[in-house]
Structure 1
Amino acid sequence: MTLGEKGSLMTTTVAVKDELARARAAEPAARLAEVVTVLRFAGTVDREASAAGMRVVIEAELDSGAVARRLCGEIRGLFGIAAHESTPVGVLRRSRGCLVRVVGDGSELARRAGLTDGRGRWLRGLPPTVVGGDLGVVAAAWRGAFLARGVLGNGGGPALELLCPSPESAMAMVGLARRLGVRAVAREVGGADRVSIRDADAAVSLLGMIGAAESGPAWARHRPHVRARVHGSRSAGFDDANQRRSADAAAQVSARVERALEILGDRVPENLRAAGRLRVDNAEVSLDELGRLADPVMTKDAVAGRIRRLLSMADQLARQEGIPTTEHALVGQ
């Protein structure tokens, strides 16, 4: 694939998300399902100190300003809770990234949205109201998941793919796709849970049902044809390559985290220090495994959120003091 083709496909993915961000779900239940799924797939929940004591903060990192604005408006409209949009700081931000933050009312939002259980723990899957909703709710949930973590394929793999926060959420999306008449498959690749739709026609059908009736077919027209391939040893080679890339990425993050702890010293919040030490002491395990090793147990997106904030805080301080950032811990930097 040429650089121009790859850029064109990326632009089409953005166009699909922009069209979905303009879609309107009239029923409150459908609007709620979309918000809940965006927060579940892109959100992290944490606690931070304030003048009034500890407060719950919900953050959702999104790759589109239009999606972020839609989420802020829906949170205000459905719950009467303020949500603020900003640009993420630090080197981990996405190219068009936006951060939506709910501070102070985070626990209230999580409770009313059904994102926490009776003990206040973040759900690993999706709420029963979403999984058992009507087809309008099902379509809205898929729209939210795609807005949060969806990507369109380039012809060499799945036509459509979701990066999921947990195996439970991945299986929920497979079931919801089945209710819409679309076959999706859940799998783990390099420690990350994904839901894939391999057939381009099925992906276009799904995109039409969730609100991308124009940009979905446009993507399909520009998608390169896939040549038949011989599987077996070549597929195994791809799997090995994915595992090597995953291990290399984990090692690089571990090195950066170790540098971040050095930069911050005693100034690092204890919850971020604990997540950082967990990553450094278990440099080769997946985020899901890190969450299970934590005490108390956390979801992998909560672990990732804390590590992201740790690196961002350290890089900001390093720039202020004119010392090497965490990136200088990487090999070859």
Structure 2
Amino acid sequence: MALTTDVKAELVNIRNAPPTVRVAEVTAVLRFAGGLHSIAGRIAVEAEVDAEVLARRVARDLAELFGVRPEIAQIQGASGHDAARYAVRVIGAGETLARQIGLLDQRRRPVRGLPNRVTTGSQEELAGLWRGAFLAAGTLNEPGRSAMVEVVCPSSESAMALVGAAHRLGVTAKAREVRGMPRVVVRDAEAIRQLLTIIGAGRTAVAWEEMRQRREVRAGVNRLVNFDDANLRRSAQAAVAACARVNRALEILGDDVPDHLRAAGELRLAHREASLDELGHHADPPLTKDAVAGRIRRLLAMADKRAAHEGIPGTESAVPAGLDD
């Protein structure tokens, strides 16, 4: 929620936009945060928003652009823990305003989507449309698996219109339905940064991108650490298994072990954590890694052959349960 608040705080302070852009923005706010109501037989236009500063911005735009006098009412949350919300209402001139902004068609029928003049406007107007939609019903998640910009939409038609506007801005967005509610989501990290910049939340876009990069670096480090831990664990298990088999081989063969194979086996037991290359350096005279590996392999094979002939457990029986060879 902190990032969403940052975006909205940045957007609501944008000033001096052209009138057509302000119309697109306030139209989106009214469409995505409210709609039409019938009060005492008259059509009223209402938008319910989550911040007083946004309610005042909407009221000011409606007064300056359409010459109406909205009223602002504070709405208490359902419980004491819910934040207060604010309703912006136009009752007296509600029907006229609804026609002007495209919430009603010429036959007084509610429009389920967005006005065509808004969705086919200029790039600035499309940015204003998306800005209003985000201010009304948008959220920005932190970078990660669930990273996305999401706008909850009042209808599937408005969702598709918002997707189309995003595509005209060069941003990939998709419409989906969650628990019966249409939504528009932008998931790609670059697309999120681009959209935030386009609608006017440049500072938050930079902060979001920096957070994403930090998390990617941290995730990369964690993957390397986990990879190293796994390798160390496997190496330790392999060393325990190898030493257990060598020890069993020496028991099976007793005095019948050729000296060079016995020396290799004892070298393995004396330096349990050492690699084959390191074992070769400990040998006298020094041996190559392949030579050490070959001698230990022959030692185990000779012991297993003897064990099979005598009907006794071989070298594998000495490996503790749960360890890999």
TM-score tier by shorter-chain length is 0.5 to 0.7
Provide the residue aligned with 1:318 in structure 2: none
Shift of 1:127: 0.3
User: What percentage of aligned pairs have identical amino acids?
Assistant: 46
Which of 63, 66, 70 is the matching residue for 2:53? 66
Question: In the alignment, does 2:178 pair up with 1:184?
Answer: no
Question: In the alignment, does 2:236 pair up with 1:219?
Answer: no
The one-letter code of the counterpart of 2:118 is V
Question: In the alignment, does 2:19 pair up with 1:24?
Answer: no
Kept in 2, the 8 Å contact 1:72–1:84? The answer is yes
Provide the residue aligned with 2:36 in structure 1: 45
Once the two structures are superposed, the pairs formed by residues 1-333 of structure 1 within 5 Å of their partners are 10-24=1-15, 26-49=17-40, 54-89=41-76, 91=78, 95-154=83-142, 155-222=144-211, 225=215
- Count residues with an aligned counterpart: 215
The one-letter code of the counterpart of 1:139 is A
Instruction: Give me the CA root mean square deviation.
Output: 2.1
Shift of 1:96: 4.7
The one-letter code of the counterpart of 1:140 is G
Larger Rg over CA atoms: 2
25 and 137 in structure 1: CA distance in 2 versus 1, 3 angstrom threshold: farther
TM-score w.r.t. the length of structure 2 is 0.62
Deviations 1:174-197 (A, max 9, x none): 111111111001011110101000
Residues in 2 aligned to 1:95 and 1:122: alpha-carbon distance in whole angstroms: 30
Residues in 1 aligned to 2:170 and 2:72: alpha-carbon distance in whole angstroms: 35
TM-score w.r.t. the length of structure 1 is 0.61
Deviations 1:74-132 (A, max 9, x none): 00010110112221145179525221111211111101112211111221110011111
Residues in 2 aligned to 1:202 and 1:56: alpha-carbon distance in whole angstroms: 39
Shift of 1:222: 3.4
Residues in 2 aligned to 1:84 and 1:138: alpha-carbon distance in whole angstroms: 27
Shift of 1:212: 0.8
Kept in 2, the 8 Å contact 1:62–1:99? The answer is yes
Residues in 2 aligned to 1:70 and 1:181: alpha-carbon distance in whole angstroms: 28
Kept in 2, the 8 Å contact 1:12–1:218? The answer is no
Shift of 1:18: 1.1
Higher relative contact order (CA 8 A, sep 6+): 1
Residues in 1 aligned to 2:207 and 2:173: alpha-carbon distance in whole angstroms: 21
Shift of 1:158: 4.2
Structure 1 stretches lacking a partner, 5+ long? 1-9, 229-333
Shift of 1:72: 0.6
29 and 218 in structure 1: CA distance in 2 versus 1, 3 angstrom threshold: same
213 and 194 in structure 1: CA distance in 2 versus 1, 3 angstrom threshold: same
Residues in 1 aligned to 2:207 and 2:23: alpha-carbon distance in whole angstroms: 29
Shift of 1:166: 0.6
Equivalent position SS for 2:201 = coil
The one-letter code of the counterpart of 1:85 is I
Structure 2 stretches lacking a partner, 5+ long? 221-325
Deviations 1:219-270 (A, max 9, x none): 3433584879xxxxxxxxxxxxxxxxxxxxxxxxxxxxxxxxxxxxxxxxxx
Residues in 2 aligned to 1:133 and 1:207: alpha-carbon distance in whole angstroms: 19
The one-letter code of the counterpart of 1:164 is C
The one-letter code of the counterpart of 1:216 is A
Kept in 1, the 8 Å contact 2:75–2:87? The answer is yes
Residues in 2 aligned to 1:24 and 1:176: alpha-carbon distance in whole angstroms: 22
